[in-house]
Structure 1
Amino acid sequence: MALRSDIGRIRLLNEDQGWCGELEPGLVVAIVADGMGGHQAGDVASKLAVDTFREALQGSTAAMTLEERKTLISQAILQANEVVFDTASNNEQYHNMGTTVVAALLTNENGVLGHIGDSRAYQWRDGVLTQLTEDHTLVNELVKSGQITPEEAAKHPRRNVLTRALGTDPQVEVDVRGISWLKDDLILICSDGLSSMIDAAAIIETLQQNELDLEQKADRLVQLALQAGGDDNVTVVLLHHAEDTELEG
């Protein structure tokens, strides 16, 4: 697994937060949160969300069923929502802060994803890149209803307006889905500092370079976002289903 985060070329503060690790042999977790709210509030929101999420997953095991893990990831994100919302409500300087979140919980057999906002998860399998999450944004709603094209959405002046975020309301809906997870699959999770700066073709070109290891691929994706302007903080997590992640026995 590889994690990279960069402040970008414009922002004065990195409001993204990412974390990945193995909770126990055969159970891998990763999360990216992209905070917002100005005056360091976004930084606080994303860190609170990731820390609360990590805490909520303590004690989970690889033996859990897919349904149990779906419930777990949803509850962990809802717990993070509660903490961020309460902190924002009780501190004037954090008023209105919030964050996106995208998280993956993977065993050797399959995985679950949970997300809110426009941070994304992709799957790379057999030379094909598939977006696994759907952006909770105003422009995505316009695309779905046929009012604008995906090409227009990419340049729309309000493309950063979220329809759903973590921590801005006492209740929030989490999108949760199960995914297959096969040998040699890659999962990419990222903030929109990557996905809004480079297109799928540039991601594919990077992921198919077999001479690069996982760390180098993550580095290259961040560099491409910076070369494209680096308008935002950029965070990338890459997870690889490799032989050496197999459980022994």
Structure 2
Amino acid sequence: MSARRITSASVLASVLASVTVASVLIVPAAATAASPAPHELAQQSAPRMIQQAGRYDTAIRFLDFDHTRPFMRRANIRGQVAATIGDRRGGLKGVAVKLYRKIAGTSTWRYVDTASTSHTDYPRFRFAPRSLANATYRVVFAGNDRLQASRGATSVAVHRTFDPRMEDGTGRFHGQMGPRYAHRLVLLEKRPCARCGWRQVSKDFTGDYSRWSFKVGAPVNGRWWWRVSAPAATRFIRSFSGIYTTELR
């Protein structure tokens, strides 16, 4: 019984510190329930090594990252492959994981990339896919002879881009939507002070090339705040442009 406890402690250090997908857990035969008969040991010049029958549980653990990204900006999906051995848990170094993506409104998972966890004291994986649309991402660890397979899912919400510009003098507030957003609704919103709520004051539709344009004014005293928004859709969350102010000089 004492031999089994000692072996588990040494295995823990090996698995949590330097396990790889191709590695195989081996322990002295005397430390397992499948030890050979005494005459078999006597015929060997060195201790016989065998594979341990059980496999350790693993889990995908995501770290904090920005779950909302502009269209075509890269996400930063980070996490760990955690292994549980007895009452201890730690991240695995140098193991490969694959990333899959399912775009909102579809039912198909598509392969995106493969990465390995780092060899640092705090091992982690990192993926940086471009944000094409609202999507669910799945990270998959295939497992090996001594580690169970595992998977985990997270999501990234994507908003449209506006490329906004405000022209001095004319008050023309305009831009171009991304991705393609031709002949679609855009809303002009205004607030009269920095702490005031937003109010819709106008609406229009984009042109053939997803361009939008509004004419805005300015108060006699102080300033007004302006932004443009687009409604949410299956593949994009409700989206807002940057904020601009107008004032008379």
* TM-score normalised according to structure 2 size: 0.27
**Structure number with higher relative contact order (C-alpha < 8 Å, ≥ 6 residues apart):** 1
Higher share in helix: 1
Query: Looking at CA atoms only, which structure, 1 or 2, has the larger radius of gyration?
Result: 2
Higher share in strand: 2
* TM-score normalised according to structure 1 size: 0.27
